[in-house]
A and B are shown apart, each in its own frame.
Chain A
C-alpha cells in the first residue's frame, strides 16, 4: 500500500518536473532578453542569471535614435489595416461559401487552401512587379496588399467552417422578415460569429506584425520600415559593434504587447490555430 502510494507520488513528481523543464525551456530566452534589456553600457557583457541593477538607458536610446517610434506606428498601421480588410473580404466570401449553393465552391476552397501553402519566395518576383506597377514600392500599402496572401486563406477557411456549423434557421427567419443579404450578414450572422472573428483577427494581427520577407523587400526607407526589419537592421556606431542592449530593449517593446494578447486571448488563438488543421 505504502509502496503504491510512493510510486504514485513519484510519477506525479516526475510529471511536474517535466512541466517545470518545459516551462524553463520555453521562457528562459525571453527572460534573459528581458533582464539584458535593463543593463546599460558595458554591464550587459557580464553574464548574470538574475536581474541586477535596473536601467532604462537602452529603452531611451532605442526610442531616441533612428525611427523606432515611427517603426512601431508603421507596424500598427499595417497590422490593423490587414486585419480589417482581410476580415471584410473573408466575411463576404465565407458567407457565400457556407450558405449559397453553387457550382465551383469546392474548387475555390481547394485554391484557397493551396494558396496558404505557397512559399512566399515563389511569388516574390511577381509580387515585386505588381508592387512596382501599382507604384506602391516603398509605401506601407504595399505590405497591406501583399500580406493578404497569407491572411485571406486562413480567414476564409476558419470563418467558413464556423459558419457552416451554425443551423440556418435564424437566417431563414430573417429572410422571411424581408432582410437583405447585407442586413443578414451584419445584423444576424456577425453577432453570432464574434468568437471566430476574434480568432482570425488575432491570427492576422500576429502574422502581419511579425512578417519579415515582404517588409524587407518592398520598403527601402528607414522611416517606413516595420519593426521586425528595423530590429534586424539595428546597428551600432561602427559596423562591428552590435548594440545588443538596444536590440534587446527594442525586442521587448514589440514583444510584450504580443505576449499580453496571447495570454488574454489564448482560448481564441488556440481554437483559430487548430480549427483549420484538424478538420482540414
Chain B
C-alpha cells in the first residue's frame, strides 16, 4: 500500500512537471522579473546592465518636486479611465446578459441558431471589431452618423472617436457589444442548473413575471452572477486591444495597460513601465480580494 502511494506521488509529479515548467516560465518567472525591473533603471536594448534605484520609478523627490508614476497625472487619469470603463461596461454587460440569458432559457423555435448568432460578436477578433466599429463610426462616411441624421437624433455629424465627450462611451459601447454574449452564456449556464421544479412550484403558487424574477430567479442566480462579474471585471481591468486600436494615443481613453505598454516599448522607460505593470497587478489583486471578501461578508449575513 505504501509503495503504491509512493509510486503514485512520483508519477503524479512526473506527469505534472512539463506543464508546471512551462507555466512557471511564462507566468511566475516573468511576473517576478517585472516586479524586479520596476526597481531598476533598465533600458529595453540592455536588459543585463542596470542598477537598482529603489522606489524612484514609483515616486521620487528631486529639487522639491515629485516625480515617478504616483506623481504622474497621466497615470491617475489611466487609473480613472480603467475603473470607469470597468464599472460601467461590466454593469451594462451583466444587465443585458441577463436579459439575453432569460430569452435563451425559454424554449422556442430557432433557439440553436439564436445562440450561434450570439456567439459571433464574441468570436470576432477584438482588432477586427475595433476596425469594424471605427468604420461605422467614421465622422464623414460612417453609417451611424447617417442613421442618426436620418432619424433626426443628431443634426450634424459627430466625430465619435475623437470627441472627448463621446470617445469613452464608444469604447464602452463596443465592449458591451462584444462581451454581452459571453456574459449571457455564463448566466444561461447558471439558469440551467436551477431545478425545474422550483419554477413549477412558483407557478402553482401563482408567482409570475417580475416577482418570480426578483424573488426566485435572482437569489438563486447569485453565485453564478458573482463568478461572472468577477471574471468580466478582471478582464475589463486589463483592457488593451480595443482601446489601442479603436482610439490610439487618446488621453480620454488611455487605460492602465496601454499606459504601461507605452512606457515599456514606445518611450523606452523599461523600469518605469515595469513599475506601472506591477501597480496594475497590485490594483487587480486588491480589488479581487476585497470584492471576494465583501461578498463573503454579505452572504454570511443573509
Residues of A at under 8 Å CB distance from B?
A: 15, 18-19, 22-23, 25-27, 29-30, 32-33, 36, 44-47, 49, 88-90, 92-93, 95-97, 100-103, 105, 108, 111-112, 115, 117-130, 132, 145-146, 148-149, 152-153, 156, 181, 206, 209-210, 212-213, 217, 227-229, 231-232, 244, 247-248, 251, 254-255, 258-259, 261-263, 266, 269-270, 273-274, 277-278, 280
Decide if A115 touches B245 in the complex (CB within 8 Å).
no
Q: Which single member of B23, B44, B114, B128 contacts A254 (CB below 8 Å)? A: B128
Residues of A within 8 A of B146 (CB): 47
Decide if B27 touches A123 in the complex (CB within 8 Å).
yes
7 A-B interface contacts by CB (under 8 A): A18-B103, A22-B103, A25-B177, A121-B261, A212-B241, A270-B115, A277-B186
Residues of B within 8 A of A247 (CB): 131, 135
Decide if B27 touches A149 in the complex (CB within 8 Å).
yes
Residues of A within 8 A of B62 (CB): none
Decide if A100 touches B135 in the complex (CB within 8 Å).
no
- Chain B contact surface mostly: helix
Decide if A45 touches B30 in the complex (CB within 8 Å).
no
The CA-CA distance from A29 to B124 in the complex, in Å, is 11
Indicate whether B26 reaches chain A with its CB closer than 8 angstroms.
Answer: yes
Indicate whether B206 reaches chain A with its CB closer than 8 angstroms.
Answer: no
Decide if B9 touches A89 in the complex (CB within 8 Å).
no
Q: A19-B114, A125-B277 are in contact. List 14 more A-B contacts (CB 8 A).
A: A29-B121, A32-B132, A33-B131, A102-B12, A121-B240, A122-B31, A122-B284, A125-B37, A125-B270, A248-B135, A255-B128, A262-B119, A273-B186, A278-B224
Residues of A within 8 A of B131 (CB): 33, 231-232, 247-248, 251
Decide if B123 touches A262 in the complex (CB within 8 Å).
yes
B window 1-53: CB within 8 A of A: 5, 8-9, 11-16, 18-20, 22-23, 25-34, 37, 44, 47
Assuming the A-B contacts A95-B15, A123-B34, are A47 and B227 also in contact, with contact meaning beta carbons closer than 8 angstroms in the complex?
A: no
Interface mask (B108-143 → A, CB under 8 Å = 1, otherwise 0): 100010111111110111111111110110101111
B window 220-240: CB within 8 A of A: 224, 227-228, 231, 234, 237-238, 240
Residues of B at under 8 Å CB distance from A?
A: 5, 8-9, 11-16, 18-20, 22-23, 25-34, 37, 44, 47, 99-100, 103, 106, 108, 112, 114-121, 123-133, 135-136, 138, 140-143, 146, 177, 181-182, 185-186, 188-190, 193, 224, 227-228, 231, 234, 237-238, 240-241, 244-245, 256-257, 260-261, 264-265, 270, 273-274, 277-278, 280-281, 284, 288
Question: Nearest chain A CB to B239's CB is how many angstroms away?
Answer: 9
The CA-CA distance from A32 to B112 in the complex, in Å, is 24
Residues of A within 8 A of B241 (CB): 212-213, 228
Q: Which single member of B5, B135, B280 contacts A119 (CB below 8 Å)? A: B280
Assuming the A-B contacts A119-B281, A125-B277, A266-B116, are A108 and B26 also in contact, with contact meaning beta carbons closer than 8 angstroms in the complex?
A: no
Decide if B27 touches A96 in the complex (CB within 8 Å).
no
Residues of B within 8 A of A258 (CB): 123-125
The CA-CA distance from A228 to B129 in the complex, in Å, is 11
Assuming the A-B contacts A126-B29, A130-B25, A254-B128, are A92 and B18 also in contact, with contact meaning beta carbons closer than 8 angstroms in the complex?
A: yes
Question: Nearest chain B CB to A279's CB is how many angstroms away?
Answer: 9
The CA-CA distance from A88 to B15 in the complex, in Å, is 11
Residues of B within 8 A of A263 (CB): 116, 119
The CA-CA distance from A232 to B186 in the complex, in Å, is 30
Of listed B26, B256, B278, B284, residue having the most chain A CB within 10 A: B26
Residue of A nearest to B10 (CB): A102
Q: Which single member of A29, A102, A112, A149 contacts B177 (CB below 8 Å)? A: A29
Assuming the A-B contacts A121-B260, A273-B182, are A146 and B277 also in contact, with contact meaning beta carbons closer than 8 angstroms in the complex?
A: no
Decide if A126 touches B37 in the complex (CB within 8 Å).
yes
The CA-CA distance from A30 to B18 in the complex, in Å, is 41
Decide if B23 touches A148 in the complex (CB within 8 Å).
yes
By Cβ-Cβ distance, the 3 closest A-B pairs, closest first, are A126-B30, A126-B33, A119-B238
Residues of B within 8 A of A146 (CB): 26
Residues of A within 8 A of B116 (CB): 262-263, 266
Residue of A nearest to B35 (CB): A126
Question: Nearest chain A CB to B8's CB is how many angstroms away?
Answer: 5
Assuming the A-B contacts A122-B277, A217-B265, are A212 and B127 also in contact, with contact meaning beta carbons closer than 8 angstroms in the complex?
A: yes
Decide if B120 touches A126 in the complex (CB within 8 Å).
no
Residue of B nearest to A230 (CB): B127
Decide if A23 touches B114 in the complex (CB within 8 Å).
yes
The CA-CA distance from A107 to B288 in the complex, in Å, is 18
Assuming the A-B contacts A96-B16, A97-B16, A259-B123, are A251 and B103 also in contact, with contact meaning beta carbons closer than 8 angstroms in the complex?
A: no
Decide if B126 touches A125 in the complex (CB within 8 Å).
no
Residues of B within 8 A of A274 (CB): 185-186, 188-189
Residues of B within 8 A of A121 (CB): 238, 240, 256-257, 260-261, 277, 280
Question: Nearest chain A CB to B77's CB is how many angstroms away?
Answer: 17
Question: Nearest chain A CB to B10's CB is how many angstroms away?
Answer: 9
Residue of B nearest to A122 (CB): B281
The CA-CA distance from A165 to B282 in the complex, in Å, is 36
Residues of B within 8 A of A18 (CB): 99, 103
Residue of B nearest to A133 (CB): B47
Residue of B nearest to A259 (CB): B120
Assuming the A-B contacts A125-B264, A278-B193, are A228 and B128 also in contact, with contact meaning beta carbons closer than 8 angstroms in the complex?
A: yes
